[in-house]
Chain A
Amino acid sequence: MEGRISRHPILGVQNEGKKTVTFLYDGKPMQGFEGEPIAAALKANGVVIHRYTAKQHKPRGIFCAIGRCTDCVMVVDGKPNIRTCMTPLKEGMDVRTQYGVSPKPFDQQ
């Protein structure tokens, strides 16, 4: 996971001792730390697009990272509009790109 800070000059080794879990991103297995926000795990894996907007079909990603802007919402375990920056990652979670409010790309809706 090249997006991780391996050792920080002030904070040392972050995420030390945390359990690694496997989750699905658009059906593809990915790893992250249990309990970290889904958005952090995605970012560490190089995923920057969380959803495409309903009207203009434009990509969006992490914007505020503290649950205010709701731009990072995705379809998580079948539920749309889940704020991935606030939702803790769990083993086996099914995380999907959100198209409008659906996990299906627009041409399949």
Chain B
Amino acid sequence: MDELQDRSRDIGPFVAQPDDDMIVCRCEEVTKGEIRKAVHEGLYTIPEIRRFLRCGMGLCQGQTCAKLVKSIVARELKVSPAVLEPATSRSPMRPIEMHVFADEKEDDE
């Protein structure tokens, strides 16, 4: 984990790849190239990448792309995907309208 915090670590330059246009996060339409570039700009953790690019922050909350993003970031950092801490899990776990989220009901014992 310490290794990942070392932002001065040399991961080499960003090199464009033919599939950089490929959509990875389907909801927010974030491409593979954008994710790879973000790593080279110094964003080494999944929460940072999410905040910067919004990948995994759309309607599905990373249900489809989380693993894909992780493997792309890991490859750029030249580490195993297993060492990358996944994104923080927060409520609500599923898409929900704000008026419903705020409508708390009491139940009888």
Asked if chains A and B are in direct contact (CB within 8 A), the reply is yes
Q: Which of B5-13, B57-65, B67-75, B101-109 contacts A (4 or more CB under 8 A)?
A: B57-65
A47 at interface by CB-CB < 8 Å: no
Expressed in whole angstroms, the minimum distance between the Cβ of A70 and any Cβ of chain B is 4
Our pick among A53, A58, A68, A81 for the contact of B63 (Cβ within 8 Å) is: A68
Residue of A whose beta carbon sits closest to that of B26: A71
Contact present for B26 and A55 (CB under 8 Å)? no
- Chain B proximity of A81: nearest CB distance (Å): 6
Total A-B contacts with CB atoms under 8 angstroms apart: 33
Q: Is A70's CB under 8 angstroms from B29's CB?
A: no
CA of A73 to CA of B58 in the docked complex: distance in angstroms? 13
Q: Which of A55, A56, A64, A73 contacts B59 (CB 8 A)?
A: A73
List, in ascending order, chain B residues with CB within 8 A of A70's CB. Answer: 27, 58-60, 63, 95
Q: B29 contacts which chain A residues (CB < 8 A)?
A: 53-56, 58
Are A81 and B95 in contact (CB-based, < 8 A)? yes
Rounded to whole angstroms, the CA-CA distance of A60 and B29 in the bound complex is 12
A15, B76: Cα distance in complex, Å: 50
Which residues of B line the A interface, CB within 8 A?
Answer: 23, 26-27, 29, 58-60, 63-64, 94-95
Additional pairs, 13, CB under 8 Å, beyond known A70-B59, A83-B95: A56-B23, A56-B29, A58-B29, A60-B26, A63-B64, A64-B63, A68-B60, A68-B64, A69-B60, A70-B95, A71-B26, A81-B59, A81-B95
A-B contacts, 8 listed (Cβ < 8 Å):
A54-B29, A55-B29, A58-B29, A63-B64, A68-B63, A69-B63, A69-B64, A71-B27
